Structure 1
Amino acid sequence: MGSRLRPYMTDYGPLILDGGLATELEAQGTNLQGDPLWSARLLQTNPQAIRDAHYRFLLSGADVITTATYQASIEGFIAHLDVSSECARELLMSGVQLAKESVNRFVSDSRPTEQRRPLVAGSVGPYGAFLHNGSEYTGAYAEEMSVEELKVWHRQQVDCLAAAGADLVAFETIPSLKEAEALVELLREFPNSKAWLSFSCKDGRCISDGSLFTDAVQIANRSMQLVAVGVNCCPPALVEPLLDSARSLLSPDLSWVVYPNSGEEWDTEQGWLTSGKTSASIPELCHTWMKQGAALIGGCCRIGPAHITELRQQLKGRCSPASAV
């Protein structure tokens, strides 16, 4: 376990992350397909649905819940919600507030005998999520952008999440080395913030833009503020070979973070294809990842509260959710 993560850990083992927030929102009847803001639209239109989804993941045993800001941006809110830049900033910050309110409700309702307060991770998706054209899974846009341009784009999101008091920043589904470099550099502008950096990957060796995962880990090693580096929204079967490929390169101060999707196939026109055989499940593989050094384990798309409950039972038995702060 990386030394930077120790302040967040307990004796209960890895921190359990939540699953797919949009997956849970859709399971409760929200239609998000095709929306350029995805679940971030609900920050304005139905914040209670977000609170409730967070709460269900907390009840399932999540030690960390991630804000509904993956596809949120000042520019996106202005364009798609017709709001002012000030209102857009408030909406982005509200993602953290809603998550904190859910944590407060959970702690109050559970009346724990020991202090245990789950963490709130402020989600920052790749620039491609804003483009809403599938490029978040290829990173092709980075070829036409500079590191400075990517830093400018992400600066407002990180600033809002930090100002709202997120415990950690979650740089998620990052498809390219260039965007990773930009985020690592940008994080230095927020010296009081800690973060994890998680990549989308195309196979057991490479991130989505075709670069080696080993090179991505080397970029993470440059940061003194990252607590973990890893992968998300890839099939569970890819996690072990990816981590194995870079095991000798990971800084002793860093840990692995892993939260793959269900292993089902995504089609840009049809959505998730549920037919056919999927890869081994997260609960089936989580012990292997833990042995490889994963200290944060959860799920991404198509992973709901029931899956997180099963994951927690696999890793921690019947023990209580961990005390994080």
Structure 2
Amino acid sequence: MNFPAETLHAVNERNERNEPPLAGANCCNSASTTFGSSTPLWSSDLLVSDPETLLHCQSDFGRVPVDLLLTATYQVSIKGFNDSKSDAFPAGIITSEIPRFLEKAIAIAESATRQHHGSVALSLGPYGACMIPSQEYSGIYDGEHGSQSALYQWHRERLALFAQVPSISSRVAYMAMETIPRVDEIVAMRRALDSVSELSGLPFWMSCLYPGDDEALPTGETIEEALRAMLDSSLARSVPWGVGINCTKVWKLPSTLKRYETTMRDMVRQGLVKEWPALVLYPDGTNGQVYNTTTQKWEGPGDTKDVKRVPWEEQLAGAVRGTESRGQWKQIVVGGCCMASSEDISRLRKVLL
């Protein structure tokens, strides 16, 4: 879930009438807004450099309208702020100043969705999303962050900064722990949330990515391992309200969702969980392009398996209807990730209504 399109989250929540009131977006609706090694905060750089553009971008999704809008905090990190130098911050942004920018991210999302009475979800990416080059598509981290204990500490320190935002628990409806490429990081994020009381009571979802042609995490770990790491209450007190899939090609959803469903049935049968969680589904909006972390560009694959004759929103709607008919998800939240625009989400809304 990388720049610039990593900022294009939108999700829809199906209501009691089986209609999907749309939920929302994170940042920029334009591929011309680019970020890279010169912007250590990646897409979150707009919080510092151009909050007006950020508001404009998020408002594009707010006008769809959407019910849930993600904050532009996916790639926020302490180091990213510390390394962000400008005329206003020639030595970078010191850690004690970071919470005011996090508050700004929430305020911008609130403003963008206020007219249509939407809610805000706090976007939290993995450690790999904050590396240069980013590594959430590989899960290959540096030695200092290669263990569960190190990842726990990193996420705990970041969550503690969010906890300093005034009234955050009443301003944020959900937390989105997304694009997680490693099983040990899933557990680390849950444990970190346990340690931050200001946030631990908020409902949250955890979503993984499946970027290859198989149905595995970037590390090769399985869907079964990922879901157990998310939902096993013996690993951490904080258990997600929802589990999901993002940063994954839309054509992979039907088979990947069947694996999710099979795993959930097994976990219920084994007594590891009592009921199914919500499902959060926001695949890439690409036509088969793959993000190259070296060139930092979206590139066309040698052969594309996307069904180009079928519009993206129709493929996604078909996957949603399929899993809805087979599964027992408490709720289904659906939208788009990389390369999805507000126009895509608007079309998705029309298909699902």
Contact 1:187 1:193 in 2 (8 A): no
Distance change in 2, residues 1:150/1:51 (3 Å): same
Partner of residue 322, structure 1: none
Asked which structure has the greater RCO (Cα within 8 Å, sep 6+), the reply is: 1
Unmatched runs of 5 consecutive residues or more in structure 2: 1-12, 86-91, 265-272, 325-330
Q: Please tell me whether the aligned partners of residues 122 and 176 of structure 2 are also in contact (alpha carbons under 8 angstroms).
A: yes
**1:187 touches 1:225 (CA, 8 Å); kept in 2?**
no
Match of 1:211 among 218, 221, 229: 221
Question: What residue number does 1:227 align with?
Answer: 241
1:248-301 deviation per Cα after TM superposition (whole angstroms, max 9, x unaligned): 332524022111112322223161125875614243232322431471111111
Deviations 1:111-148 (A, max 9, x none): xxxxxx32211111111111122321111228753222
Counterpart among 281, 287, 302 of residue 318 in structure 2 = 287
Question: 2:298 maps to which residue?
Answer: 272
How far apart, in 1, do the equivalents of 2:104 and 2:158 lie?
12
**Residue 185 (structure 2) pairs with residue 159 (structure 1):** no
Post-superposition CA distance 1:52-109 (Å, at most 9, x none): 21111021232211111111112210122301212122212321121012122x23xx
Normalising by the residue count of structure 1, what TM-score does the alignment of the two structures yield?
0.82
Asked if the contact 1:171–1:195 (Cα under 8 Å) also holds between the matched residues in 2, the reply is yes
Question: What TM-score, normalized to structure 2?
Answer: 0.76
Residues 1:258 and 2:281 aligned together? yes
- Map of 1:91-240 to 2, 5 A cutoff? 91-104=101-114, 106-107=115-116, 117-141=117-141, 145-161=146-162, 163=165, 164=168, 165-189=171-195, 190-201=199-210, 202-222=212-232, 225-240=239-254
1:84 aligned to 57, 75, 94, which one?
Answer: 94
Q: 1:257 to 1:41 in 2, by over 3 A?
A: same
How many positions carry a matched residue from both structures?
297
Which of 273, 292, 315 is 2:352 aligned to? Answer: 315
Q: 1:85 to 1:150 in 2, by over 3 A?
A: same
Q: Which runs of 5+ in 1 are unaligned?
A: 1-6, 108-116, 317-325
Larger deviation, residues 300-309 vs 135-144: 135-144
* 2:33 matches 1:30: yes
2:280 alignment partner, SS class: strand
Distance 1:42 1:19 in 2: 15
Change (3 A) 1:283 1:19: farther
Give me the whole-angstrom Cα distance separating, in 2, the residues matched to 1:142 and 1:309. Answer: 39
| Inter-partner Cα distance in structure 1 for 2:220 and 2:22 | 29
Residue 135 of structure 1 aligns to a residue whose secondary structure is: coil
Distance 2:304 2:148 in 1: 40
- Mapped to 2, the partners of 1:18 and 1:279 lie a distance apart of 24
Counterpart amino acid of residue 32 in structure 1: F
Contact map agreement 2:206 2:230 (CA 8 A) in 1: yes
Report the aligned-residue RMSD.
2.5
Match of 1:123, SS? strand
Structure 1's 95 and 186: CA in aligned 2 closer, same or farther, altered over 3 A? same
TM-superposed deviation, 1:151: 1.5
The AA in structure 1 aligned to 2:208 is F
